[in-house]
Amino acid sequence: MHGDSPLSSWVRRAEPGDPAGIFDIGTTYRRPEHARGQLLIGDETALPAILSILEGTPPGLATEVYLEVAARADIRPMRTPAGVRIQWLSRDDQDLRPGTLALAAVRDAHLSPGPFYTWVAGESRLATTVRRHLVNDRGVPKRDISFIGYWRLGRSAPG
């Protein structure tokens, strides 16, 4: 449990036999064949998906990863395929909206020349703002970006 979130509140109240569900939106990672590299960006809610993507990443595929987490304690050493660079970004005690550090890191990054595929997920504003930045400021084709807003700050999910 992480702080006072809708999910944490539900977990504290849950009893064996209470209904639970998984909202499965299907596969969102679809790297096109023409991509010579990939850019993976997410907050802590995207960490499991990014780890899964990295497990299937072919050795040698140039991969830049920006992972934002709530605290340094959430950073973990990872074995990654050759060609993968991970930048961990920790909010710690800073009063920052989730995704702020990841967005700033992408804006400041020296990205490899294309074509590359981008997969970004997490708080809704992070996903949409990264996509807008890559398309408008970096000239990345929309078709080469998958973006998923897993959640919205201050709002609970329907259902």
Inside any domain, residue 109: yes
Inside any domain, residue 157: no
Please list the pLDDT of the chain residue by residue as tens digits (159 residues). 566 777 778 888 889 988 876 655 556 888 999 999 999 999 999 998 998 899 889 888 999 999 999 999 999 888 888 889 999 999 997 888 899 999 999 999 998 887 999 999 999 999 999 999 999 999 999 999 999 988 888 776 554
Domain that holds residue 43: 33-151
Number of domains in the chain: 1
Residues 143-147: contacts with CB within 8 Å, 24+ apart?
143/32, 144/32, 144/35, 144/114, 144/115, 144/116, 144/117, 144/118, 145/117, 145/118, 145/119, 145/120, 146/28, 146/29, 146/30, 146/117, 146/118, 146/119, 146/120, 147/118, 147/119, 147/120, 147/121
Inside any domain, residue 48: yes
Inside any domain, residue 17: no
Inside any domain, residue 66: yes
What is the CATH number for 144?
Answer: 3.40.50.80
Inside any domain, residue 43: yes
The structure's pTM equals 0.81
Q: What is the model's pLDDT at position 158? A: 56
